[in-house]
Amino acid sequence: MSPAPAVDDLYKLRHSLAHVMAQAVLKLWPDTLITIGPPIDNGCYYDFLFAQTISEDDFPKIEKEMKKIIHQKQTFRCDTLNVVDAKKFWKGLKQKFKVELIEDLVKNENIETVTHYANIGPKGEEAFVDLCRGGHVENFGEIPVDCFKIMSMAGAYWRGDEKREQLTRLYLAAFPTKAELEGHLTMLEEARRRDHRKVGRELDLFTFSELVGPGLPLWTPRGTMLRHLLDQYVWELRSAKGYQRVTIPHITKKELYETSGHWQKFANELFHVTTREGHEFAMKPMNCPHHTQIYACQQRSYRDLPQRYAETTACYRDEQTGELHGLSRVRGFTQDDAHVFCRQIHVKDEILAIWEIVDTFYATVGFGKLRVRLSLHDPAAPEKYLGTPAMWKKAETSLREIAVDRKADFFESPGEAAFYGPKVDFITKDSIGREWQVATIQLDINMPERFDLFCIDESGEKERIVMVHAAIMGSLERFLSIYIEHTAGLFPLWLAPVQAALIPVAEPHEAYAAEITEMLKKEGIRAITLPHQDSLGKRIREGETQKIPYLLVVGEKEMEAQSVAVRNVKTKKQVVVTVKEFLEKLKTDVSGRKLEASIG
């Protein structure tokens, strides 16, 4: 069993609390089977097989027992056992999952010994033992009793296999101090308020249907407008860089993905289609193999390069039902995908052009400065990737040099590369402090080889080309799950599905409200009227709930002055301007894609 990796104090705290939680659970329910309990972002979790049903009502009871254990100031003792004795130990405790873990370690790592970490009580007794590589606090007394909280429970299949036992996973939030825990809990409460599933339902942006199936979102007119406006902006930015639109089908023969390498690595994640004649097809999970065939349909000279293809199109992946989550994890999604087919000498300029698009887009929609992750391959696991070590070294060096030249805020992450090449992944922070990976640029050194893509060089010889993959939003569904929560549904004026709502004070003012509504529509403004049937206050609240940027209240004074009382929903300020002035400022803000509306 390999030694524990070097870990920091926070890792040790969270790892230790996973053991404390498991000890507490066994004290309360001694016949529970235990499995694994790793540290994760914001805390840890532990998977259990309970002999009885537990619920969230049991969380305080577990936490109380955990605090008792911590107050005892138990310590850890590390014991090294040969695998025979270790298996005998766990069989004696009837903990079958631990036995299976040891057998897997023997099979996969060819180990002869394993380590046990025992929680030693105040009288020197073994209070709890776990199979573990280590990384713990010296003494439980180091753990503040007010720095953790059990957050939730979920189902989890043992080893991620739906044919195996379904376990109960308990998630624990853990931080060095009470203040940091409370800050995290406050952030989670704000996240619940902003949950894109809740906001999307309130704003009538998208829905799901049991008849259509889980993970297959249906977009309403308002949601479709939002998608269209974002995608149109991405296309404007790409068009200015010389991209051309292409269109491909939604299915393909199996052979295309066998050639690309996707079939060998992802066959189980594809939707398979068999024709009446017995031919095997798949719903496309990505677009790059199709795009290679557009490039390959004719011989290309070096003078024809770069070829830049862009398309926004649906893709499909057979995700497990338990992993689906709103828009962020779906079975049917839409990619704003682009591929550049170019010579090696073009790579730097092409990547920098995409980088400029990414920076411009995310600044315009209201995200702050982007961090960059250079996602590299893991040299210790070459079987996960296509291509030779020399090819990977050359590609990764190219990306690193570009990041340095760009003076980017970047860090390197081995093991995060795509199986066909390294990536530049862009990371943003949303309005409540959560980090998300958004855009990506991928340098593909393998697909041109597998599809034999080349150009004819200046000497009339074949020259192997390279591919650059570029996604600005990536999956529109996933991007919008992030963006809806970032804005809490209060989109910039140019993106708002409804930009203005006319609110007549009473029935005599409805004709004037309708006249302005129609005038705004003719000028390309998305406007509606909220008629007088309900009270004025209720209609203003309805407009605010719908996150309509401008609410235009019109009564007798406004009719006489040909003006509108403009209520800015974001600032809550109200000003009276002429209809002409309102329209001019509105059109200027929309055409300039301004983040902040200039009226009110």
Sign of CA dihedral 54, 55, 56, 57: negative
Distance CA 167, CA 145 (A): 27
435 bridge partner residues: 429
Which ranges in 409-535 belong to alpha helices (H)? Answer: 447-450, 476-487, 510-522
Angle ∠(146,147,148) on CA atoms, nearest 5: 100
Among candidate residues 15, 290, 339, 567, the one labeled active-site is 339
Non-local (6+) Cβ contacts of 536 within 8 A are 503, 505, 553
Helix and strand numbers (H, E) in the chain are 18, 28
| 317 tagged catalytic | yes
The sign of the dihedral angle between the CA atoms of 164, 170, 173, 174 is: negative
Q: Are 67 and 58 in contact (CB under 8 A)?
A: no
Look up residue 294 and give its two tokens.
């557009």
Q: Does 303 qualify as catalytic in the annotation? A: no
Measure the CA–CA gap between 221 and 397, rounded to whole angstroms.
Answer: 46
Pairing assessment for the beta strands 126-131 and 148-157 based on DSSP bridges: unpaired
Taking only Cα atoms into account, the Rg of the chain, rounded to an integer number of angstroms, comes to: 29
Alpha-carbon distance of 23 to 118, in angstroms, equals 10
User: Which two tokens mark 242?
Assistant: 């010389």
Catalytic entry in 47, 130, 337, 444: 337
For Cα atoms 130, 132, 138, give the angle at the middle one, nearest 5 degrees. 85
Q: Would residue 136 show up in a list of annotated catalytic residues for this protein?
A: no
* Contact in structure between 492 and 594 (CB atoms under 8 Å): yes
DSSP H or E run through 260: helix 254-260
Please say if 533 is a catalytic residue: no
Instruction: Give the Cβ contact number of residue 481 at 10 Å.
Output: 24
Ramachandran region, residue 431 (left: φ > 0; alpha: ψ -120 to 50; beta: rest): alpha
Contacts 24+ apart (CB under 8 A), 376-379: 376/412, 376/413, 376/414, 376/415, 376/416, 376/417, 376/422, 377/414, 377/415, 377/417, 377/422, 378/414, 378/415, 378/417, 379/414
The sheet with strand 113-120 has its strands ordered as 75-82, 113-120, 126-131
User: Which token pair is 404?
Assistant: 């340095």
The DSSP string of 143-163 is S-TTSEEEEEEEEEEGGG-TT
Q: Please pick, among 196, 290, 291, 423, the residue that the annotation labels catalytic.
A: 423
Q: How many CB atoms are located within 10 Å of the residue 232 CB?
A: 10
Cα 572 from Cα 544, distance rounded (Å): 9
| Active site (annotated) includes residue 532 | no
Catalytic positions: 288, 317, 335, 337, 339, 423, 469
